[in-house]
Chain A
Amino acid sequence: MWLIIGYGNRLRQDDGAGYRVAEILSAQLDSQRARVLAVHQLTPELVLELVAADVTRVLFVDACRGQDKPLVMEKLKQTAATGSCGHQMAPELLLHMAQSLYQCVPPGWLLTLAAEQLEMGETFSPTTSAACAAAVMMIESLFANAPKYLQNKENLPKNPSL
């Protein structure tokens, strides 16, 4: 099963894009194939979600200011390099903690959506609205059209530019 974690602050305009994508996906994806979480920020207890027995892959969805392409997908490495965290964490550190604490970590990817406006507000910029729609379509298409493809965990597109 996929674990999809969309995160961001819904009161900070485009920053909430990952959260919004997760909200949409949670209503549309088959719960037998994907567990979708929409969270404000990454926190340590999410490690327990990563190491759940039925999770085979994890996809983080976040907003990224200054990104040229609407969507960028990258394979994540486990690393403690981003370990100086406070109340929020980097996805790489979550993977690292899962491996260190439970010797069990699913392969992980980070999908970032282009963001422009991060002021107080609940509306998205046109760029981020389009990126949200593209992200939902891309993730849904992965599930709808390529179930066998998905079974090969290394075969996710490296840098989709939609």
Chain B
Amino acid sequence: MAVDIKAKMKVDMKKTVTIEPITRIEGHAKITIDLDDAGQVADARFHVTEFRGFEKFCIGRSFWEMPGITARVCGICPVSHLLASSKAGDAILGVRTPAPAVTLRRLMNYAQMVQSHALSFFLLSGPDLLLGMDADPAERNMAGLVKMHPEVARAGIRLRAFGQALIRALGERSVHPSWSVPGGVRGSLSAADKEHFLAQLPEMYRTLDIALDLMKDALDRYAGELNAYGAFPSLFVGLVASDGGLEYYDGHLRIVDGNGRIVEDNLTPDAFLNQIREAEETWSYLKFPYYTPFGTEGGMYRVGPLARLNVCDFAGTPRADRELRQFRHFGGPGKTVNSSFYYHYARLVEILHSLERIEEILADEILLDHHIRSRAGVNQNVGIGVSEAPRGTLFHHYQVDDNGMLEKVNLIIATGQNNLAMNKTIKQLATRFISGSKLDEGLLNRVEHGIRVFDPCLSCSTHEAGRMPLHLQLRAADGMLMDEIKRG
């Protein structure tokens, strides 16, 4: 990859800024920014430089194994893969999953939203939002947050622990649970656990009150910059319930454009996938999905918290709906909220919604029903499972032979679907903040934060664990080093 860039510099006589690695995201990536001879941003790229290849090495395995295998794609949101894989398995079995099992899967997915979004807001993006983009890099990290805002860190840790504990109570462990299977789930929730988690909810709601106040302060503080953090119209994609409500597990897919108009509605997963193409580039392992009818540029779409709040008609729970109305003020009447900076705010609305749904489910007597699994053999050779992961819509698409052995696997991951938008966000930020030949930490962190707002999970998208020291260089067209900063 580095050789390609060097060659490009020589051929195109451009200056290239390289930011590597991007910190406080899951996985390994780098950013390059090409400047023209006038020092203006010509192009910007988000390179994902890791590779896993789950789609290939799963071929030949039994579809029954897939929830367990694909949950190991990631240690952060294994639940999302577990559920999408189980749903693809449900389709291959061709059975109706018992209602109590569906409720339990929903419960685990809400817990997943809570723990993942809490980590993103409080501990990964919190240092930027609370300590400032220009803060000393030695302080602008989790330890700095603990030092300067211990009450926020404590609350965030307890909120995440709540979600993790609920996942563990259902699946025996919070990372890589093998609890959801084709046809249902392996176990229910004990009465004691129900009471235990219900008792903790008031504290979790109070934490959200704190977080929302902090978020609104941050929106005021960064008001002058919001239009640089991926503020552009695009398509938005997400699941919605049959009544148009916010939905993470079932329902249908809806596509909305950057003006709030519904482009397509009531799409089944296979109908949606037929409308999507995955473009590839030589400089990244992460693919570039787009909505085919609008082409690569117009077909760029975003998924995840911002998209879900833009595509749904309402949340369906009182506290989240109250907050959603405030959120929508930032887009204007009938419009979508288009700046990616609002992903942070959307995550908090989603945590609130998830807590409310968790409260509803824990009080639901359906959890007492012991019929939690349907059993069958292979009745369909193709199965598609879709669910909303914390980072966006997740698809598992399997083709099996009559014995259930996998012949084809296609995983379409949220981070990949945001790839075009992430690249455009970097370019927008670089254009706004890079000028002249001097680099500084504030610039570096703003560009990084442009990626961090999406909370990308590169393990899910590709993966290979690895970290490298940060090394950012600004070189002139003749290769002369104009400026350089290092981290680590």
Contacts and interface: CB of A to CB of B under 8 A. Distances in A.
B146 to A, nearest CB: 5
B162 to A, nearest CB: 9
Interface residues of B, number: 30
A80 interface: yes
Given A80-B147, A86-B24, A40 B164 contact: no
A111 interface: no
A12 B153 CA distance: 31
B488 to A, nearest CB: 7
Contacts, number: 73
A40 B157 CA distance: 18
B252 interface: no
B334 to A, nearest CB: 38
A45 B161 CA distance: 5
Given A84-B23, A86-B124, A101-B153, A93 B176 contact: no
A7 B176 CA distance: 14
A85 interface: yes
Contacts of B141: 83-85
A39 B23 contact: no
B25 A86 contact: yes
* Secondary structure class of chain B's binding surface, majority of residues: helix
Interface in A102-159: 102
Q: Name the residue among B24, B123, B156 with the largest chain A CB count within 10 angstroms.
A: B123
B150 interface: yes
Interface of B: 23-26, 72, 75-76, 119, 123-124, 141-144, 146-147, 150, 153-154, 156-158, 160-161, 164, 175-176, 465, 487-488
Nearest 8 pairs between A and B by C-beta? Answer: A83-B143, A80-B143, A45-B161, A40-B175, A83-B141, A40-B75, A100-B146, A87-B26
Given A48-B158, A84-B23, 12 more contacts: A40-B75, A41-B75, A44-B160, A48-B157, A80-B143, A80-B147, A84-B488, A86-B24, A93-B143, A97-B142, A97-B153, A102-B154
Interface of A: 9, 11-12, 39-41, 43-45, 47-48, 80, 83-87, 89, 93, 96-97, 100-102
